[in-house]
Structure 1
Amino acid sequence: MTLSSEQLLALHEAVLATFSRSEWQQLGLISGESDYIGSHDRLLRSLDFNDEDYSGHALRAIKRIAEGKGGAWAFLQIPQLRNWLAQEKPAILPALEHLSTQVPPQLVSNAGQLLALAEGVKQTFKEDDWLKLGIISSFADKIEHHPRLLRSLRFGDPDYEGCVMEILGMMEKQSKPVQEILGGFQKLRDWLSENHPDIARSLWASAERANANVSPQPNLGNPQFPPTLPGASQASPSHFDPVPREQTQLFSTEPSLSSLLATVQAVAVGTENATAYHRAVEQLLSTLFAPGLSEPTIEDRLHEGRKRVDITYVNRDAHGFFRWITDHYPPAPYIYVECKNYSADPGNPELDQLTGRFSPKRGRVGLLICRSFTNKDLFIKRCHDSALDDRGFVIPLDDSDLANLVNAKLHEGDDGVVRTLRSRWARLVK
């Protein structure tokens, strides 16, 4: 189906006004373009950091999806976008709705099933379910190495919903339908029967008709679930509500932080153990600062690999210390971390190495993590000098500082982390 230039531009304006990552991932699942959206690094990254080129990337993605099988219909399944059009472009909406009637019924049915399954997965899956799904779907590598899926599940982060849709959308491109692959999960079946009974009946009835001709899939506790989905009835896509944090928090924060801190402290000092220390620090910081700092990149390559940084985090903090940094010392889209497993104090070369990774676009805030200081005051003064010379802000933290942060988190929550880091920050700028 072909959209006019006026209709395309109206969709573009609506997307710019209403879309976050989650809406893009939902659109990908509905339209069958999850692979394209997930692999379009600049589209989502430029959205995250409000870059100037986001508008152009968005327009190209909108045009591609609008010219596909789902056309305008796929966009109108996003409630925020539809509501925005109804309010801001009331003359355009009826024409888009008319075009939506031309979408193939099977696409509508399939999208409704996928969204219901995604909602069910979000509500019922634990980490071991994802690992089992990886084994039976040949998606183990994508699931285990996805930068956010399992981590956002563990901590109840709001981007977990989008990660679920991204993975299911990619699985949909396989020869075996994702509906079939998910069939062996009993809790998912039960949830669908209770919350989307029409879709559940459609899936099971169609499988019974096809069962004689299809070999059963590997079973995870439900041999009766249908292996195929011919003739599924039409269903309208639904939009999920956020899952309460307590429903997706698999592990309590306290033992996790305590054990991760112990792992850092147990690494023997010395350059021969640098990698082990580096990895242990990443696990601790990623838990301590979640969900504000996310998507850690290990050994991040800058300038085509001519420079590297031990860990780069995306700063998505909405309420904590790193949001305060964004508000008062912008820009800070990334936070950089260097880890030094030295027996001696870090000096000017280590400080200069980290500040050399800063830039006006990437941000000018970093953490220098080390084992201990014989003269911590001297190094903090060096960091103060760097800030006064406009070379960026480096927060030094040794093992004892990390222990203080963990203790503050366990006893005071995020407020304790903010208080502790603000105290160290004050010594950099006053």
Structure 2
Amino acid sequence: MSENAEIARLQAENAALRRRIAEQDDDRQRLERLLQTTIDHVDSVIYLRDATGTFTHINDTYEKMTGLSRENVIGRRDSDVFPKEVYEAFRVADRQVVEGLATVTQEELLPQEDGMHVFRSYKFPVLDAAGRLIAQGGISTDLTKQRRAEASLQATRSLLQAIVENAPLAILATDAAHKYVLVSNEAARQVGRTPAEVLGKRVPQILPPGAAEAMMDTTTQVFRSGGTLVLEQTVPWEGSTKVFLTHMFPIRNDDGEIDAVGTVATDVTDMRRAEGEHLRLQEEIIRAQRSTLLELSTPIIPIAEGVLAVPLIGAIDHERNQQIAGAVLERITATRAAVVILDLTGVRQIDPAIVDALMQTVRAMRMLGAEAVLTGISPELARVMADLDAPLRRLTVRQTLQHGIGHALTRIRERKTGNRRIAAGEHGA
């Protein structure tokens, strides 16, 4: 082969080699872009380092989490990028990967602007076909939000548990099948059980029949309406009744569906009984006060021996008329009064039915041997009395109290004189 031919062959081989190198370089760049694009779309920290520990790749999340750009990381080591205390914590797992050629999982701490963040890191070796280490990879997921949420949830659960265990209230929840899914100590105590003995049981297995039906009915209402229900219930309970002030509300899942109905019930039986007793005593006091006021408003004044004056003031209703009649008739019997003056000067208005009842009192006084004298009758009262069917001829009426007293004293003198004459006649005989 001539020299020129050999040169041409070598040039052709070199050209083919350059094409293959260019193609391989294009393939490498495509793979590089594919790798970088892929890891940039993962919401976890991803990085690759060569066998010497030098960074070759990081993704966008790495930059975001660490605040370090690719230019400040690629081509450098952990010791060049992170503080010593952080880097030394990383080295422990890195050494295990290099020495054991195995994946290592651990939690790592990384300081951030809002405090220390917790990452779960998977560190793994990258091996060649011969099983030799050519790179180290790492994927770290930020668990901080999850851990904070878990801590918050645990705190909430602890708080709820403390309330459920210690609140002096019956706190419980039942599902659609009327099974208990939450029971406080007080709720269990009221039925003579422990929470463990109640949980998972159906309401009819725990409550007396009447109380069970009442609770299931109201629970069903909340399931159907989806609203809160507040009511006071009187339910049969072991041969008696109990009164509960009950608040019922829906408990929804993340999809907004009602999983259970919560109930907070307060046993107000003793309080309602105390209120009833207080009301009864209050009514007794009111009746006693009213009776005292009626007595004070109906004074019976002895004018002379055998003469009583009863000045009536204000409105007279049926109850007061009854009191007046009882008091006057009782005093007539006690004092043997012969004349009773009913002074109506202070009475301006009176119902016809009360006037009629007052006339019946006058007739009762006459039956006890006492003469009734009415004084101070107003024109309005006179018209009412005139319209009554009751006979008025036997009524003794005087214009004023003074005239009535004069009449009464005259009648007493006449009665005494008559008695003396009768006594003298009997003596002469």
The TM-score normalised by the length of structure 2 is: 0.17
Q: Which has the larger radius of gyration?
A: 2
TM-score scaled to structure 1, two decimals?
0.17
Structure number with the higher helix fraction is 1
Pick 1 or 2: higher relative contact order, CA cutoff 8 A, min separation 6.
Answer: 1
Higher normalized strand content (fraction of residues)? 2
